[in-house]
Amino acid sequence: MLAGGKGRRLGQDKAVVEIGGVPLLARVVGSLAQVASEILVVGRLDGPPLPVAVRFIPDLIPERAALGGLYTALATASNPLVVVVGCDMPFIKPEILRYLVGLAEGFDAVVPLVRAEPQPLHAVYAAGCRDAAAEQLATGDLKLARFLGRLRLRYVAEADLKAIDPELRSFFNINTPADLERARAMARVLSQ
């Protein structure tokens, strides 16, 4: 999980804001724990109390945006497949992650398409992609879209995702105070 963002637009640390009484980081870790045998939180050295054990790992190459965090995850994971999500996605469905993992054989990455846009921070990567990430980082190019262009990709259509998550809540992320309020309202509705 990538958790190294500064939360500038939100105005506070995303990892510790609460949704439904649970810190955001803990919500995401809880979802990942249903899918992954190892959970790495990249870009942080600590966090709020979590439901399972995790490894906190600082970025191997600091100040390199999401691509730097992705590189760190790929370089330090002990598994051949790495599920990558942001810490700001409170409604991740483990079923979506399992589905993506199931499509990974023969590809460097499995990337969902939502509203025709790739979702590279809610995707599955082969750990070997770290070499392509390192090469791109060495050039100073931090664009995830160009990184994806270097890989053998399997895109997953929105219709296929909706079969598992009809409202695509898994892909909702929190960037602004308005997003945070919307997430809290969604959590209240979902808990009823």
4 residue type, one letter: G
Distance CA 47, CA 68 (A): 20
pLDDT (0 to 100) of residue 6 = 59
- Per the prediction, the chain carries an average pLDDT of 93
Mean pLDDT of 107-119: 97
pLDDT computed for residue 136 by the predictor:
97
Q: How far is CA 159 from CA 1, 96, 116, 135, 163, in A?
A: 25, 12, 11, 34, 7
CB within 8 A of 161, min separation 6: which ones?
96, 112, 114, 168, 170, 171
Per-residue pLDDT reduced to its tens digit, 122-146: 999 999 999 999 999 999 999 999 9
CATH superfamily of 14-185: Spore Coat Polysaccharide Biosynthesis Protein SpsA; Chain A (3.90.550.10)
- What percent of the chain lies above the pLDDT cut of 70? 98
Beta pairing class for 153-156 and 18-19: unpaired
Say what the pLDDT of residue 2 is.
Answer: 84
Strand-pair category, 18-19 with 122-126? unpaired
The pLDDT of 104-116, averaged and rounded, is 97
Residue 153: is its pLDDT beyond 90? yes
Q: Confirm if 15 and 47 have CB atoms less than 8 A apart.
A: yes
Distance (Å) of CA 18 to CA 65, 103, 110, 180, 189 = 24, 33, 30, 9, 15
Residue 105 has pLDDT above 90, yes or no: yes
* Of the candidates 30, 31, 57, 26, the residue with the CA atom closest to the CA atom of residue 44: 57
Q: Which residues contact 162 (CB under 8 A, 6 or more apart)?
A: 168
pTM: 0.93
pLDDT of residue 154: 98
Domain extents for the chain? Answer: 14-185
Q: Which tokens belong to 99?
A: 């589905």
Please tell me the predicted confidence (pLDDT) of residue 34.
95
Q: Do 9 and 166 meet the contact criterion of CB atoms below 8 Å apart?
A: no
First-to-final CA distance of the chain: 28
**Whole-angstrom Cα distance, residue 164 to residue 182?**
22
Q: Cα(66)–Cα(138) distance, rounded to whole angstroms?
A: 15
pLDDT at 3: 82
